[in-house]
Amino acid sequence: MALLDLYRLMYRIRRFEERVERLFLAGKIPGFVHLYIGQEAVAAGVLSHFRLGDYLTSTHRGHGHALAVGVDPKAMMAELFGRATGVCQGKGGSMHLFEASRGMLGANGIVAGGIPIAVGAGLGLKVLGKQGVVFCFFGDGALGRGVLHEGLNLAALWGLPVLFVLENNRYASTTGFAESHAFRVPDLIAAYKVPYLEVDGSDVEEVHKATGELLTKVRHGGGPAFLEAHTYRFRGHYVGDPERYRSRQEVEEARGRDPLSIARVRLLASGLSPEKLEELEREEEELLERAVVFAEESPWPDPKEALADLFVEPTRDYPWEEG
């Protein structure tokens, strides 16, 4: 994928998240919000390889992943507002986005909660003889959960098509990585004999390239692979986080590796005109404005529908299952 396309996606995620932050602080979005600001290059670089027939499991910080696989910004914004036109009819909110038609098997409020879902989806693909890869995202806090080790073990043992993507942003909620992990990630992954690469998660081109290298094996029956992207969230763990666990200096230093700034500098250096870049950004701003208006004008869910869709019969609404 061209750098300009990757930049567009990162810009969409950044502006979406910044707008969500303002709307949340204004009292228009209920619940909790965990922003993806600063980590955009990971979602864009990895999921630019997402294809029809693939699946995705996400985290409580999942807005960027959803946008990267093409979930409609209007339906996403409406979901955050709790409106009936949201992707989950207003019942999921920020931490439980789910969109079957895009292969998104859900964001998850439980740390490492998406890992067994991803491994199960990978097993399903293999048993049914279907093409596809499951993109499994999680943060560094998940490394201390038993389900990660169970998932890695089964995926490796059964040769499942799962790409494990660790977004290592240095903090599991408010706990630094070194305070809670007695191992190096490469050593951990080596125990499962799974291909491993680590990348600068601020460099979208590097992320894109490394993901492509790992997927060459995964898509051709070679079993799972593991990508560690070193990244950083510019905001707190959640909107309103007092951030007493890290210094202002550390945050400012991390901002010096802003993934959007890195990509923008490269684009301009390659000969792209500032006017062309500004046009792209205006288009994304207009898309976001339409999403906000759509959400604000959408109806609230009918209380009578509160229990609808909790238990449903299996359907064939996945486009890759036709025929």
pLDDT in tens, 156-195: 999 999 999 999 999 999 999 888 888 899 999 999 999 9
Q: Supply the pLDDT for residue 202.
A: 98
Domains: count for the chain:
1
> What residues form DSSP beta bridges with 32?
none
Three-state SS letters, 111-136: CCCHHHHHHHHHHHHHHHCCCCCEEE
> Rounded CA gap, 156 and 146, in Å?
16
Place of tokens 């059964």: 158
Q: Does residue 276 lie within any of the structural domains?
A: yes
Buried b (16+ CB within 10 A) or exposed e, 134-157: bbbbbbbbbbbbebbbebbebbbe
Alpha carbon distance 323, 321 (integer Å): 6
Contact 167, 64 (CB under 8 A): no
The stretch 256-278 carries a mean pLDDT of: 97
Which residues 6+ apart lie within 8 Å of 82 measured at CB? 29, 30, 90, 93, 300, 301
The verdict on residue 220 lying in a domain is: yes
- Residue 210 included in any domain: yes
User: What average pLDDT does range 54-66 have in this prediction?
Assistant: 97
Residue 60 belongs to some domain of the structure? yes
The residue range of the domain holding 151 is 3-240+251-298
Residue 308 counted as domain residue: no
Cut 0.85: pTM above it: yes
pLDDT for res 152: 97
Q: Considering the domain boundaries, does residue 313 fall inside one? A: no
Mean pLDDT of 268-278: 96
Q: pLDDT tens, 138-154?
A: 999 999 999 999 999 99
Quick check: is 322 in a domain? Answer: no
17-43: per-residue pLDDT in tens? 999 999 999 999 999 999 999 999 999
Asked whether residue 156 is domain-assigned, the answer is yes
Identity (one letter) of the amino acid at 165? V
pLDDT by residue (tens digit) across 281-307?
999 999 999 999 999 999 999 998 888
Residue 317: the pLDDT is: 56
Average pLDDT of the residues in 117-129: 96
Binning pLDDT at 50, 70 and 90, where does residue 323 land? very low
CATH of the domain at 67: 3.40.50.970
- Residues 6 or more apart whose CB falls under 8 angstroms from that of 247 comprise none
